[in-house]
Chain A
Amino acid sequence: MAPSRAVLPRLLSAGAWPRSRWLSFLKTTSGLAPPSSRTLRGAVAAAVSEAEDREVGDKILNEPLKHSDFFRVKELFSVRSLFDARVHLGHKAGCRHRFMEPYIFGSRLDQDIIDLEQTAVHLQLALNFTAHVAYRKGIILFVSRNRQFSHLIENTARDCGEYAHTRYFKGGLLTNAPLLFGPTVRLPDLIIFLHTLNNVFEPHVAVRDAAKMNIPTVGIVDTNCNPCLITYPIPANDDSPPAVQLFCRLFRTAITRAKDKRSQVEALYRLQGQQEAKGRGPDQLRGLGPV
Chain B
Amino acid sequence: MAAPCVSYGGAVSYRLFLGGKVSLARNHALWKIAVAEFQTCTRSQILRQRNTTVVTTKKKVAALRHETYTEDFIKKQIEEFNIGKRHLANMMGEDPEKFTQEDIDRAIAYLFPSGLFEKGARPVMKHPEQIFPKQRAIQWGEDGRPFHFLFYTGKQSYYSLMHDVYGMLLKMEKHQNQLQAKDLLPKKTETRDLIGSRWLIKEELEEMLVEKLSDQDYMHFIQLLEKLLTLQCGAAEEEFVQRFRRSVTIQSKKQLIEPVRYDEQGMAFSTSEGKRKSAKAEATVYERGSGKINVNGIDYLLYFPVTQDRVQLMFPFHFLDRLGKHDVTCTVSGGGRSAQAGAIRLAVAKALCSFVTEDEVEWMRQAGLLTPDPRVRERKKPGQEGARRKFTWKKR
A164 to B150, CA, bound (A): 6
A161 to B170, CA, bound (A): 23
Task: Tell me if A157 counts as interface (CB < 8 A to partner B).
Answer: yes
Query: Given contacts A139-B145, A151-B166, A154-B163, are A185 and B140 in contact (CB under 8 A)?
Result: yes
Decide if A173 touches B152 in the complex (CB within 8 Å).
Answer: yes
What 0/1 pattern do residues 166 to 210 of A give for CB contact below 8 A with B? 010010010000011110111010000000000000000000000
Decide if B153 touches A165 in the complex (CB within 8 Å).
Answer: yes
What 0/1 pattern do residues 231 to 264 of A give for CB contact below 8 A with B? 0000000000000000000000000000000000
Task: Tell me if B144 counts as interface (CB < 8 A to partner A).
Answer: yes
Task: Tell me if A27 counts as interface (CB < 8 A to partner B).
Answer: no
Chain A nearest CB from B136 CB (Å) reads 10
**Other-chain residue from A158, A173, A181 in contact with B149 (beta carbon distance below 8 A):** A158
Task: Tell me if A162 counts as interface (CB < 8 A to partner B).
Answer: yes
A179 to B60, CA, bound (A): 12
What 0/1 pattern do residues 141 to 153 of B give for CB contact below 8 A with A? 0011110011111
Dominant secondary structure at the A interface: loop
Query: Given contacts A137-B143, A151-B163, A151-B167, are A163 and B150 in contact (CB under 8 A)?
Result: yes
Decide if A165 touches B150 in the complex (CB within 8 Å).
Answer: yes
Number of contacts between A and B (CB, 8 Å)? 47
Task: Tell me if A127 counts as interface (CB < 8 A to partner B).
Answer: no
Residue of A nearest to B150 (CB): A164
Residue of A nearest to B216 (CB): A168
Decide if B154 touches A170 in the complex (CB within 8 Å).
Answer: yes
CB neighbours (8 Å) of B149 from chain A are 154, 157-158, 161-164
A151 to B145, CA, bound (A): 22
- Size of A's binding interface in residues, CB under 8 A: 23
Task: Tell me if A225 counts as interface (CB < 8 A to partner B).
Answer: no
Task: Tell me if B33 counts as interface (CB < 8 A to partner A).
Answer: no
A131 to B244, CA, bound (A): 41
Task: Tell me if A114 counts as interface (CB < 8 A to partner B).
Answer: no
Task: Tell me if B40 counts as interface (CB < 8 A to partner A).
Answer: no
**Other-chain residue from B143, B152, B170 in contact with A163 (beta carbon distance below 8 A):** B152
A180 to B143, CA, bound (A): 19
Chain A nearest CB from B145 CB (Å) reads 6
CB neighbours (8 Å) of A158 from chain B are 149
Decide if A173 touches B154 in the complex (CB within 8 Å).
Answer: yes
Decide if A163 touches B62 in the complex (CB within 8 Å).
Answer: no
A162 to B167, CA, bound (A): 19
CB neighbours (8 Å) of A141 from chain B are 152
Residue of A nearest to B158 (CB): A167
B108-159 at interface with A (beta carbon < 8 Å): 138-140, 143-146, 149-155, 159
Chain A nearest CB from B292 CB (Å) reads 71
Interface centre among A141, A180, A181, by most B CB within 10 Å? Answer: A181
- Write 21 A-B pairs (CB below 8 A) sorted by A numbering: A137-B143, A139-B145, A151-B166, A154-B149, A154-B150, A154-B163, A158-B149, A163-B152, A164-B149, A165-B152, A167-B153, A167-B155, A167-B159, A170-B154, A173-B152, A185-B140, A185-B144, A186-B140, A186-B144, A186-B145, A186-B146
Lowest 3 A-B CB distances belong to which pairs? A186-B144, A158-B149, A167-B153
A interface with B by C-beta (< 8 Å): 137, 139, 141, 151, 154, 157-158, 161-165, 167, 170, 173, 179-182, 184-186, 188
